[in-house]
Amino acid sequence: MAARWKGKTAEAKALAEPMSTIVYRLQSSLIESNSQGILSGSSVLLAAHEEQTELFIHACFGRPVITTEKNKQWFQLCLEEAFYLCTVMKCIKIVELWDYMSSKRVNFPILYKAYSHLRTKNWVVRAGSQYGVDFVAYRHHPALVHSEYAVIASSAEEGNENGRLKVWSDFHCTLRLCGSVAKTLLVLHISRNYNDCDGASSSPWNINYYSVEERIVARWNPEQSRENCTVAEKESCKSS
């Protein structure tokens, strides 16, 4: 499915400043300032100066928090965002992050692996609860383009705790919803390689031993059935 850009100039703006360039600038700025996050409930708070504020917004990490402080802007990062910045981009520091996040979010290792899999491919990943999925993925900034994928993280680990897509009626309802908002359903099936991993799921480094299989799920379109094709199409089928 082609990108659905928002406005005539949106694609040109995106090509002029790729998401990978914006993220790299944010990473360099956070490393230079030795940024440290503060655990707060089921999220992480991070202070940002003026330049970093613009980079956070353009890179689509976190959400700005309204405060009375004039010279400092705070950003609220979800658990997947904070752990990605800490362990993959290595540009922020958070103490005892893995144990804390695992205790706050059911199935956090699986959700994080799905998030990081897409982010490392320069997709912008945002929460997808409004569509009944785990995430939605954008080709560039959401101000420029509509999200293309509705993403569900699936795993056989610990009985597949998300509990979705177990029966065909779940697939049918999810596909109908995705179709109504012009999104493609992307199921990321995540499994652990026990031959390489020591089996201790409590360690953040064991995430490297999880593999991701991408599966695009689409509805069958009866209009494309061979039995419904025209006479001319049938003759073409016979001759081919």
DSSP letter for each residue of 39-102: EETTEEEEEE-HHHHHHHHHHT-SEEE--S-SS-EEEEEEHHHHHHHHHTS--EE-TTHHHHHH
Beta bridge partners of 44: 39, 77
Residues acting as catalytic residues: 138, 146, 183
Q: How many CB atoms lie within 10 A of CB 59?
A: 20
CB 145 within 8 A of CB 5: yes
Q: How far apart are CA 21 and CA 222, in angstroms?
A: 43
Q: What distance in Å separates the CA atoms of residue 140 and residue 135, rounded to the nearest whole number?
A: 15
Q: Are 58 and 67 in contact (CB under 8 A)?
A: no
Let me know: does 77 contact 44? Beta carbons within 8 Å.
Answer: yes
Collapsing DSSP to helix, strand or coil, 229 comes out as coil
